[in-house]
Structure 1
Amino acid sequence: MKAGRKLRQIIMDRIIAEVPDLAGQVYDKATKGDAYPYATMGPSYWRDVSVTCIESRAQTVQVDIWHSKESKGLLEDLTDEVADALRGWADPESLRMHPAQISLVRVMDDPDGVSAHGVVQVEVRLERS
């Protein structure tokens, strides 16, 4: 498994372990009918931050959190819990990674008119093994 895919999986595992209010509902991609609240893995990108003798990249992964429009306050709580679970966290057993940094947290109404959408962007520096 390549680093980006592995990072997505260990982020999902971390959220499941540390955010009980999501009741294990953390998915790579949601399906119709998933009950609120739940989290999905959103877009990701990386940029090369290699230096002499150390090949590395800064990988950004977005975690999307979904709840009903009537529960924006609860969604605020969930985004804080997800950010707290990931801020400063690292899993060196799985990847050569530096502690995660939170670069953005946002809560907004979703254009579907039914749900509210939270975003937590996580940045991790990964080194090639």
Structure 2
Amino acid sequence: MIGDGLQKAIYAALTAAPALCDGKVFDTVPMDTPAPYIHIGDCQVIDEGNSCADSWECYTDIHVWSEPETGSKLEVMRIGAQIVPRLLAIAAVPGFTIVISTIENVRYLDDPDGVSKHGVITVRHVLDEA
């Protein structure tokens, strides 16, 4: 199984200098964290192994939250545009070779609270055991 290596690699990519959102990248967001911030959300791991190799297909949702005074989604879109190349550039997960790294989906939403803006980026990594 892949363990926590991929999440650590994602966190490192998002917090590498210059850190996105001033380094406010969390897997559990502390109460009263001021926006904007990034939340490493759900991860789905699918066993894609066969008789020749152990392989896993991993989907990770990265959430971006903003509370702009303007009411615009532009801030979450700008941050999302900075996140995507960092996710695609992840080159190493200890014990694994990254075979595929791709963005599956990007969505920008108005939150039901009427203030917050929300971006969701779904990244897919296929990992082969090294």
User: For the structure 1 residues 4 and 72, does the alpha-carbon distance in structure 2 shift closer, same or farther, using more than 3 Å as the test?
Assistant: farther
- TM-score by length of structure 2 reads 0.86
Cα offset for 1:80?
1.0
Structure 2, gaps ≥5 residues long: none
Structure 1 contact 108–116 (Cα < 8 Å) conserved: yes
Structure 1, gaps ≥5 residues long: none
Matches of 1:19 and 1:122, distance apart in 2 = 21
Structure 2 contact 43–59 (Cα < 8 Å) conserved: yes
User: For the structure 1 residues 100 and 111, does the alpha-carbon distance in structure 2 shift closer, same or farther, using more than 3 Å as the test?
Assistant: same
CA shift digits 1:44-103 (9 cap, x unpaired) = 1122221332011101111101101524101111111101111243215x2413142111
Matches of 2:89 and 2:25, distance apart in 1 = 20
User: For the structure 1 residues 120 and 18, does the alpha-carbon distance in structure 2 shift closer, same or farther, using more than 3 Å as the test?
Assistant: farther
Question: Kindly, what percent of the aligned residue pairs are identical?
Answer: 26
Matches of 1:109 and 1:52, distance apart in 2 = 46
Equivalences for residues 92-111 of structure 1 within 5 A? 92=93, 94-98=94-98, 99-111=100-112
Matches of 1:89 and 1:35, distance apart in 2 = 27
Equivalences for residues 1-129 of structure 1 within 5 A? 3-17=2-16, 20-69=19-68, 70-92=71-93, 94-98=94-98, 99-129=100-130
- TM-score by length of structure 1 reads 0.86
Which has the larger share of helix? 1
Secondary structure in 2 matching 1:22? helix
